[in-house]
Amino acid sequence: MKLDEFLRLNAPEDLAALTAAIAKTSIDVWDSVPFKSGLLTETNPSGETQKAIDVYSNDAFVEALTSTGLVAEVASEEMEEPASSKGSVSVAMDPLDGSSNVETNNPLGSIFGFYSRKLPASGRRLVGALYVTYGTMVTLTFSFGKGVHRFVAVREGGAMPFQLLGVNLRLPDKAEVYGFGGSRREWVPEVAAFWHSLEGKGLRNRYCGTFVGDYNQVLSRGGIFSYPALVKKPRGKLRVLFECAPMAFINEQAGGYASDGSGNILDIEPRALAETSPLYIGSADLVREVENAVSKR
């Protein structure tokens, strides 16, 4: 089944239009990667150096989303202030997750949260979320609150429409993989102890350094991804609005759980657009175990 048909049958009209716009733009972004990997001197609000592809993907998605006439605002990891428009849905996005991995050709991603309130807002205000993988395949994985569904881009003449790969995706019962960001010596000790226990539980370490890629394998194979609390950075690295909450929404729809170490990621009420949080996400039993250890700190 093609994406447009699926969306017509299974999605609210506004989210269907926004998803279609993202799908089309994701192919433009993917096509542009080899041509736009030169460094710019500007930095984004979190202090990371922007590359041309970061700017390109940000502008392309802002344009695609606002031109639907359906969004009230688009907040982005790459912009200090949201772009406002005339519709009613607020979109928070990480337009190119893992962009430091361009040269090494590791997977990249894009993350979108669709909120029913002005931003910043809690994950409980999400009405849908979506992520794109630019890896072996370009895929869209999304939920509008009724299961998680996945599409893959396939060449058809000059175009790359999306075809259905799977509906109602669930985290498998048996957990197989784990991937933790940051340096081991910087993690809080409870995280290091939990990490050491994972091999004993039969899981394998698989880490590519792009949140979307590292989470995507957890959804398929079961397990846990974390960018944990660090001793010197107790609020971690990943942004609540742009990264943690949208992925937590999808993960929960797939039967998993996502925590900040003390409670559900979706319950965080961020006060600023770029607020960060430690993140433990994936199979519910593993996430509860690390949450239990970390919350006793």
Binding site for ligand F6P (CB under 6 A): 97-98, 181-182, 209-211, 227
Answer whether 257's CB lies under 8 Å from 209's CB: no
Which of ligand F6P, Mn ion, none interacts with 182 (beta carbon under 5 to 8 A by kind)? Answer: ligand F6P
At residue 50, the 3 state secondary structure works out as: strand
Q: In what order do the strands lie in the sheet with 149-153?
A: 83-84, 71-76, 89-97, 108-115, 126-134, 138-143, 149-153, 162-166
Q: How far apart are CA 262 and CA 254, in angstroms?
A: 21
* Number of residue whose CB is nearest Mn ion: 97
Structure-block tokens of residue 84: 């406002």
Which of ligand F6P, Mn ion, none interacts with 210 (beta carbon under 5 to 8 A by kind)? Answer: ligand F6P
Residue 201 Cβ vs ligand F6P, minimum distance, rounded to whole Å: 22
161: left (phi over 0), alpha (psi -120 to 50) or beta: beta
Contact flag: residue 97 with Mn ion (CB under 5 A): yes
Q: Which is nearer to ligand F6P, 89 or 191 (CB)?
A: 191
Q: Which is nearer to Mn ion, 87 or 109 (CB)?
A: 109
Residue 154 Cβ vs ligand F6P, minimum distance, rounded to whole Å: 26
Q: Which is nearer to ligand F6P, 14 or 239 (CB)?
A: 239
**Paired sense of beta strands 108-115 and 126-134, if any:** antiparallel
Residue 187 Cβ vs ligand F6P, minimum distance, rounded to whole Å: 11
Contact flag: residue 94 with Mn ion (CB under 5 A): yes
Candidates 209, 193, 148, 198; CA nearest to 176 is: 198
Q: Which is nearer to ligand F6P, 87 or 98 (CB)?
A: 98
